[in-house]
A and B are shown apart, each in its own frame.
Chain A
Amino acid sequence: MDNLLLGVVGINDMWYTLPLIVAVSLVYSATRHEEVNPILVHALRIGVWVLGFMGVIFAVLMLISWQA
């Protein structure tokens, strides 16, 4: 139960990653393209990829630290 509470607190802090993901995706994509549209499309793709990757890592960490 304590672990679950700690997990919920941690999830609230995860909101801080959103502005970072947006900024990193946009800047990285802007170094790959010159026009605005390709930059935005590429940024969206990278942002989704990063979120998915973080989700997988989050799930794995939750699983291996799970105590019934």
Chain B
Amino acid sequence: MAKSLEQVEAEKSVDLKDPALAAFLAWLVPGLGHLYQGRTAKAALFFVCIMGTFVYGLSLGSSDAMGWGRVVYCSWRGANQWHASDKRLQYLCQVGVGLPALPAVVQALRARDGKGPLFGNGFMYPPPLTGHRQGTDGFNYFDEHGQPTLDTLHYHLARFFELGTVFTMVAGLLNILAIYDAWDGPVFLETTGKDDDKDDDKDGDKGGDKGGDKGGDKGGGEKQDDQSEASSDAKTV
């Protein structure tokens, strides 16, 4: 679908203001960087999509018995004689969502000092690796702060622990795209009409000969260079 001249012109007038500040704000709260740049529609879109995904993931990894927001936590614990290590690499993706994932750091620092959770019913608190059994029914192991162990979380939340983890990770990774958009503006797709493809073939431009997204994403050659020039002129940095 070819873009009209008006659309191209409209896209050229993106004022990025201070890109570094916008990128930082975009990391802090999804969409905030775009709001600062006056790109309200995209700010709303990023906020709703990314925060919606993150909160939905949090809710999947929650239950009345286990507490809320169990799938986002910061942990780098080695193995001991009772349990395998718990190095939560997933948090590196989750923290891409910014401020909403930062309570996990506070809770992790408290857990490291042997303190209980600061707020909520263990909200984003790293689950202990060992605990004492409570009751006789089911698998219920809790530590001295009343926090369920990691095994207990897996037992009760089952596959929703993984589902929640995936949703929150995807939210963090999506926000990285949004941060880049706040930093450098949108990647302008070239026109993708059939006529353009024919022109590309005539010019021998191998990067642009497939049309569609591939032409915009991967297309090398002079058409891509022209596009880069157009976009760099357009951005008011």
Taking beta carbons and an 8 Å cutoff, which residues of A are in contact with B? Answer: 13, 16, 19-20, 22-24, 26-28, 30-36, 38-39, 41-42, 45-46
**Interface segment out of the listed B62-70, B71-79, B131-139, B173-181:** B173-181
Q: Is A34 in contact with B14, judged by CB distance below 8 angstroms?
A: yes
Q: Is B1 in contact with A30, judged by CB distance below 8 angstroms?
A: no
Provided the pairs A33-B189, A35-B10, A38-B3 are in contact, do residues A27 and B177 lie with their beta carbons within 8 angstroms?
yes
**What's the least CB distance linking A13 to chain B, in Å?**
7
Q: Any chain A CB within 8 A of the CB of B49? A: yes
Q: Any chain A CB within 8 A of the CB of B39? A: yes
Q: Any chain A CB within 8 A of the CB of B21? A: no
Q: Any chain A CB within 8 A of the CB of B53? A: yes
**What's the least CB distance linking B18 to chain A, in Å?**
18
**What's the least CB distance linking A40 to chain B, in Å?**
10
Taking beta carbons and an 8 Å cutoff, which residues of B are in contact with A? Answer: 1, 3, 7, 10-11, 14, 39, 41-42, 45-46, 49-50, 52-53, 56, 159, 163, 166-167, 170-171, 174, 177-178, 180-181, 185-189, 213, 216
Provided the pairs A35-B11, A39-B45 are in contact, do residues A30 and B181 lie with their beta carbons within 8 angstroms?
yes
Q: How far is the CA of A27 from the CA of B173 in the complex (A)?
A: 11
Q: Is A24 in contact with B170, judged by CB distance below 8 angstroms?
A: yes
Give which listed residue, B1, B7, B11, B177, contacts A28 with CB less than 8 A: B177
Provided the pairs A20-B170, A23-B49 are in contact, do residues A35 and B163 lie with their beta carbons within 8 angstroms?
no
Q: Is B11 in contact with A23, judged by CB distance below 8 angstroms?
A: no
Provided the pairs A20-B170, A31-B186, A34-B14 are in contact, do residues A26 and B49 lie with their beta carbons within 8 angstroms?
yes
6 A-B contact pairs sorted by A residue (CB < 8 Å): A13-B159, A19-B56, A27-B50, A31-B186, A33-B188, A46-B213
Provided the pairs A13-B159, A27-B174 are in contact, do residues A34 and B49 lie with their beta carbons within 8 angstroms?
no
Q: Is B186 in contact with A34, judged by CB distance below 8 angstroms?
A: yes
- For residue B7, which residues in chain A have a CB less than 8 angstroms away from its CB? 35, 38
Q: Which residue of A lies closest to B11 (CB)?
A: A34
Q: Is B53 in contact with A30, judged by CB distance below 8 angstroms?
A: no
- For residue A36, which residues in chain B have a CB less than 8 angstroms away from its CB? 41
Q: Is B187 in contact with A31, judged by CB distance below 8 angstroms?
A: yes
